[in-house]
């Protein structure tokens, strides 16, 4: 384990909710909850204002509404979050070639790998500059932890929240860890925590005092020995640069079970198109198509078909997914559907059989970003389009009033607040849901283009 605190952990603060507050001036300083808004929805992120009411991520949305009935409830906008994440990860890669993303809003960075930092003082200076650069580029805040290991760096960033930096000095790790609860350590979830509690072990120091043999007896050889080492502040895990993507997939969970077989087929086709769109965005192709079906009784089935060669043709993927669906009984109802592609490659090889059946390759049908909400139904069999659905929080544009976002909808009406990230809180107007002057729009940048580049940002050779 290294001698200086040169491993960094960055965690963006209440990421989705903070992005929504930055985009919507009327929500700044107010409780904002982002997640699936249907009966089976869960909280993805809650703003710090909402957390004061006891709302937290992974909580059922119904429970969140009881705790914070006056909060703003929004459907996620993953396109916006991915754009912000790419900007943040780009700043991290300017610091080191070893960046290990854990999610859109979280990553480890090895500052020693590039020579950017070799002691506590230089590491702290880089961390503070990074926080300033993130705010300049995205308008959001992130918390930074610095330590000699990944485990300790993550603990430090948790202690830094929100919008702070904590550095754990080398040599002080055991003293800091001792009084912390066992759930602080990686790999200690609810089940392991309860098992340790029944054995009278509730703190990290008590894990260390119990000894390796007792931990192995309680938890097994690998888990027990690993947990004992971490209780002694021993964590040799390296920062590993992001690995090549192994698969691309999309899935949707439905508010109510789907029983209509025609509707199920339509959903599978729509998911296949979305999957291909993501595949093409990644510049990849794939050889194996995978279908995932979760039925009414929570049983989950997967079926796969390997093609003759890798493809990014939406017609090929749609046809393969349709064939896979024929082998699945959905008569009791379907809760979740997913389509994925594995066996990825950087090139395509035409599937002549599928191409002959479909003529020429088609472009995927345009779809909205994955929202976690029940998707729109396909067009009816008589070709009459279904009414548009306006998702709370999503961007719109009106021909006369300009850009805004959906504040709510129902009963054939949609309420829009017209404001932008750089404006004052805007006015609210209500329209018919089928108003031809109202259209869906893409997200606006949180920070104007001219203000995005951090000033005097050092590269790895000058940082510190």
Enumerate the active-site residues: 106
Element (H, E) at 9: strand 7-12
Which pair of tokens denotes residue 310? 């890798």
**Residue 432's beta-bridge partner residues?**
413
Distance CA(48)–CA(56), nearest Å, equals 9
* Cβ–Cβ < 8 Å for 110, 10: no
Q: Is 43 helix (H, G, I), strand (E, B) or coil?
A: strand
The one-character DSSP state at 75 is -
Distance CA(460)–CA(92), nearest Å, equals 10
Q: Cα–Cα–Cα angle for 460, 89, 184, nearest 5°?
A: 100
Distance CA(284)–CA(275), nearest Å, equals 11
Residue whose pair of structure tokens reads 């059989």 in the numeric block: 353
Angle between helices 15-23 and 78-95 (to 10 degrees): 110
**Residue 416's beta-bridge partner residues?**
406, 429
Say how many C-beta atoms besides its own lie within 10 A of residue 40's C-beta.
Answer: 16
Q: Is 3 helix (H, G, I), strand (E, B) or coil?
A: coil
**Could you write out the three-class secondary structure of 373-430?**
CCCCCCCCCCCCCCCCCCCCCCEEEECCCEEEEEEEEECCEEEEEECCCCCCCCEEEE
* Cβ–Cβ < 8 Å for 57, 15: no
Distance CA(359)–CA(315), nearest Å, equals 9
């Amino acid at each position: 384990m290294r001698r200086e605190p040169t491993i960094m952990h960055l965690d963006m603060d209440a990421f989705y909710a903070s992005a929504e507050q930055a985009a919507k001036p009327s929500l700044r300083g107010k409780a904002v909850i982002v997640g699936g808004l249907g009966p089976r929805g869960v909280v993805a992120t809650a703003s710090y204002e909402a957390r004061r009411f006891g709302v937290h991520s992974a909580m059922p949305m119904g429970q969140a509404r009881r705790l914070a009935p006056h909060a703003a409830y929004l459907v996620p906008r993953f396109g916006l979050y991915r754009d912000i994440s790419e900007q943040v990860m780009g700043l991290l890669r300017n610091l080191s070639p070893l960046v290990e993303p854990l999610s859109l809003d979280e990553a480890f960075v090895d500052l020693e790998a590039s020579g950017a930092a070799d002691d506590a003082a230089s590491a702290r200076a880089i961390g503070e500059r990074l926080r300033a650069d993130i705010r300049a580029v995205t308008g959001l805040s992130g918390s930074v932890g610095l330590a000699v290991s990944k485990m300790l760096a993550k603990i430090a960033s948790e202690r830094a929240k929100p919008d702070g930096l904590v550095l754990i000095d080398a040599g002080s790790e055991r003293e800091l860890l001792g009084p912390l609860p066992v759930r602080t350590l990686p790999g200690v979830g609810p089940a392991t925590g309860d098992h340790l509690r029944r054995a009278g072990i509730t703190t990290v120091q008590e894990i260390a005092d119990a000894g390796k043999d007792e931990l192995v007896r309680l938890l097994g050889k690998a888990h027990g020995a690993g947990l004992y080492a971490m209780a002694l502040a021993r964590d040799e895990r390296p920062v590993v640069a992001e690995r090549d993507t192994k698969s691309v997939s999309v899935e949707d969970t439905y508010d109510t079970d789907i029983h209509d077989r025609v509707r199920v087929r339509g959903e599978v086709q729509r998911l296949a198109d979305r999957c291909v769109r993501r595949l093409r965005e990644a510049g990849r192709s794939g050889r194996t198509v995978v279908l995932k079906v979760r039925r009414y009784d929570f049983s989950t089935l997967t079926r796969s078909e390997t093609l003759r060669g890798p493809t990014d043709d939406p017609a090929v993927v749609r046809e393969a997914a349709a064939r896979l669906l024929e082998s699945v009984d959905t008569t009791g109802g379907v809760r979740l559907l997913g389509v994925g592609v594995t066996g990825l490659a950087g090139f395509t090889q035409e599937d002549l059989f599928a191409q002959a059946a479909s003529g020429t390759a088609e472009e995927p049908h345009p779809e909205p970003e994955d929202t976690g909400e029940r998707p729109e139904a396909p067009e009816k069999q008589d070709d009459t389009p279904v009414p548009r659905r306006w998702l709370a929080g999503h961007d719109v544009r009106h021909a006369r009033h300009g850009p805004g976002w959906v504040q709510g909808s129902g009963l054939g009406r949609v309420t829009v607040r017209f404001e932008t990230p750089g404006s004052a809180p805007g006015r609210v107007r209500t329209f018919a849901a089928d108003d031809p002057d109202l259209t869906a729009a893409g997200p606006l940048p949180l920070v104007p283009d001219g203000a995005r580049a951090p000033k005097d940002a050092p590269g790895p050779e000058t940082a510190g």
